[in-house]
Structure 1
Amino acid sequence: MNRFLILFLLLITTSMSCNTLDDMSNPDTSEIKGFQLLNDLKGHWVGSNITAFGHFDFFTFDFRPISAAHLHSIYEGGTNQNIITSIFIADFEGKQQIMARNGGWLGNQYRATYFVLDIAEETETSRYYRLVDAVGREKRAYIEFRFENGILKFDAYKDNSGSLDEPVHHMGFEGTNLNPSYAQAATELFDFPQKVSEVSLENKFTDLIDPDSALFLEENKDPFPKNQHGHLSDLKINLVKDNAIQSDKLLLYISTESIVEENGQVNYQHLTSKVIRTIEVQSNEAFYITTYLHPDSYFITCFSDKDNNFYPSPGDVCNVSKVIEIDPETFQEMDIEVDLLLQ
């Protein structure tokens, strides 16, 4: 669904930090300000999103470790339409720091912007983190993460004018961690999080296209591109469409549990709690390649959304949800037949 595509270019006001609960029991964590964010953000967050381009009742972030010091999540709207948010430890400005990478493809345009954590406020009942543009700082763009009473508030602000005036609100997600277990296997695999640097970004923000932002518009100039991200995989999904929907767009959902059963029944509980990606496939596309996929077992469900309600319902043509096991660092392929008319 392209409806969320442009919102992101993630793109937070005073610098201060407090001791975390973990800092008190493990003094080493105080060496990297905001280290606790790597623990707090893990999991499958489900909620709603208010953006500069509209309000979306259902949205998810699936943050899982891909190394000992790197959390990764992606939104996919369609082919060459994705927005990545990843949080990691990097060497920057002479020390280890929490940083973020936000970007991806918007049509034919590549984007990647880098942020550095400048505020970490942590108490027994709440936590607040801010990351700012690694060059232009809070006058250019910033991201805020707030955790309180089991709720995550994830806000992004960006300078729309380029004049380094006050950034405006660009996105506001609010949700709960419905499935923290999604991150458990990778947490154990990498003994996550560890105080190790994922990448060095020392002296990487020079000769920039915009002198006021750590922004890259060419993938070959990105200091931390996709080919340097381990553990993640790609999946090519070949679509065999019924003749009745040859000219229809399709919605493709990736979930951790089945949505459409063999008898044609739709599991609405899984639909609202187990979906990690919602993708729009154009009518002329015979396949879709989903990228940056965390290793796991997934169900693939594709349907013609005849009534535009964003879920499989009577009158839609779909497939029975098909399972596939995704291994680390692979390119895999599968076929699905979209030929079941829901009654």
Structure 2
Amino acid sequence: MNLNKIIISSASLLFIIIAACKSVETSSIDPDISIDDISYNGTIKQIINSNCIVCHSGKRPSGNLYLTNYENVVNAVKTRDLVKRINNEADPMPTTGLIEKEERLAIQRWAENGFQLEITDAEKALNTIDTTSTAFVAPDLQAINIDVEGFDFLEKMQGHWVGKIHLLGRDIPWFAFDFRAINSSQVHGLFEGGSMGNLFNTFFVAKYKGVKTIMLRNGGILGGIYRTSYFVLTEVDNNEYVFVDAYGGKQIMWVKISFTKDTMKMLTYTSKMGLKSPSKHIEFEGKREHQDLAKDAAAKYNFPSKEVVKKFPTGMPLQDWGEAYPIVTSASYMMENENFDYALLGEMAGDPIQISDIKNIASLQLKFKRKDLSADKNIQVYLSRVPLTNKDGSFKSAYGYIEQTVMDEVLLFPEIDYRDQEFTLTYLHQGKCYITFVVDNNEDMVPSSGDYYSVSKELNLSGASVLKVNNITKTIQ
């Protein structure tokens, strides 16, 4: 058996952040300014923030490359071949594809001209132009009334979905989502990436501008960058459901979910908050492998019902994105500080729904002593429906790889960086699961021969739990 490799990296993150844009669907380079009249503060910083900062910031930047300030960027150009990297079509940075040609050229010419820091006179002149004519006009969104249609979506979304995903320009042959009810009118799923960040998708009944409908709260945290975005159901066609940005509409970002028997397809498009026309961001297609956990949760919470979780009588409240981003285009709430926790970042961002508002979820704090075989190693954490190890402690493998049927029992699969002594997993489903730790020695991103591992341990998650880890002592044969 040759199990397909799972390729997941910090560049394969499931979210977007605010783009630095003057107006909708425009380049970061103003057409009225010469490419020789640009500075870091006036233009280059905007390009970097729009395209690079997601992966190259925080405690664990991709490739250990920081691009968070002027000194970082200058150093990256001089010592890390940044100009060459952003022009490498075969291995683009960012992984979604090359940034705009004029933006790449701007970085190159800026470097050739001596790395100007302060805003140039030409940039200052442009900043005095009245931009009210380019102000964003939000569409008049018409939410679907679930008393008429669309309510069946909640029940259809339940289950453990296993399949493949196209993510940020990459095809990943194995991926999974575990959607379960967390109350009578809310179904929740999570991708937990571990040290690199996470992404949740929570669908809930809401009253949006007086209409009882379904909304999506999507977001997570990466490298100290907190973001949540809200979507509202606006289209229903048989087994297809479309959710659009709850302020900016489909021109900003949207999600389409469709069902065919036991298959679910999730397609997301984003415009980087209006920087460009929406393009494909994620495409997941999976089969509902298991329903027992979802059915148990549905019975426990009397799901689904039409009980309203949150009311937005006049639409979405808008966050002030600051002077640098005067045009708000999305129902998105963001805050950056790598030293603050989830709860505080959410409060600072003005998120309409805080993590403390969400009931029936759990957290698990992992504390690594690092005195076992995990010393100086990244750790793959597998939360699964069944143990990944046998009663005798051996790993459930065949032909040197984890058994495919066993892999398809995995619910979450975060990776913990070798420098982390502890890490807290949030937004977890309550109840029974198993946890197994693997050190991926050959870096093929799947448990296989030669990898170190721990014997699977049963957990019963509820509220906040703590688990001390120092039992990675075995080797997969």
TM-score, normalization: structure 1? 0.87
Distance 1:30 1:227 in 2: 27
Distance 1:333 1:266 in 2: 26
Contact map agreement 1:111 1:217 (CA 8 A) in 2: yes
Counterpart for residue 334 of structure 2: 217
Counterpart for residue 441 of structure 2: 306
Q: Compare the two structures and name the one with the higher strand fraction.
A: 1
Between the two proteins, the alignment pairs up a number of residues equal to 323
Of 383, 395, 418, 1:265 maps to 395
Contact map agreement 1:252 1:302 (CA 8 A) in 2: yes
Q: Compare the two structures and name the one with the higher helix fraction.
A: 2
Asked if residue 338 in structure 1 is aligned to residue 472 in structure 2, the reply is: yes
SS in 2 for 1:169: strand
Cα pair distance change 1:81/1:5, threshold 3 Å? farther
Distance 2:252 2:188 in 1: 23
Contact map agreement 1:5 1:83 (CA 8 A) in 2: no
Larger radius of gyration: 2
Cα pair distance change 1:169/1:45, threshold 3 Å? same
User: Displaced runs of 4+ in structure 1, greater than 6 A?
Assistant: 15-18
Contact map agreement 1:150 1:177 (CA 8 A) in 2: yes
Deviation string 1:179-235 (CA, Å, 9 cap, x unpaired) is: 111211110111111111011123442354252100100311000121110000101
Counterpart for residue 201 of structure 2: 85
Distance 1:94 1:16 in 2: 11
What is the deviation of 1:242?
4.8
State how 1:114-125 maps to structure 2 within 5 Å. Answer: 114-122=230-238
What is the deviation of 1:271?
3.2
Gaps of 5+ in 1: 19-28
SS in 2 for 1:38: helix
What is the deviation of 1:168?
0.4
What is the deviation of 1:321?
0.7
What is the deviation of 1:2?
3.4
Distance 2:384 2:211 in 1: 39
Gaps of 5+ in 2: 1-7, 19-140, 322-326, 336-345, 398-402
Counterpart for residue 139 of structure 1: 251
Amino acid at match of 2:433: Y
Deviation string 1:70-100 (CA, Å, 9 cap, x unpaired) is: 1111111113601111111111111211100
Counterpart for residue 196 of structure 1: 307
Distance 1:153 1:10 in 2: 24
TM-score, normalization: structure 2? 0.64
Asked if residue 252 in structure 1 is aligned to residue 364 in structure 2, the reply is: no
Contact map agreement 2:143 2:211 (CA 8 A) in 1: no
Amino acid at match of 1:188: A
Counterpart for residue 148 of structure 1: 260
State how 1:1-343 maps to structure 2 within 5 Å. Answer: 1-3=8-10, 5-9=12-16, 31=147, 33-79=149-195, 81-122=197-238, 127-160=239-272, 162-163=274-275, 166-203=277-314, 204-209=316-321, 211-218=328-335, 219-220=346-347, 221-261=350-390, 262-267=392-397, 268-327=403-462, 330-336=463-469, 337-343=471-477
Instruction: Pick which of 250-259 and 232-241 moved more.
Output: 232-241
Contact map agreement 1:2 1:78 (CA 8 A) in 2: no
Amino acid at match of 1:105: I
Contact map agreement 1:160 1:168 (CA 8 A) in 2: no
Amino acid at match of 1:238: K
Distance 2:209 2:273 in 1: 28
SS in 2 for 1:78: coil
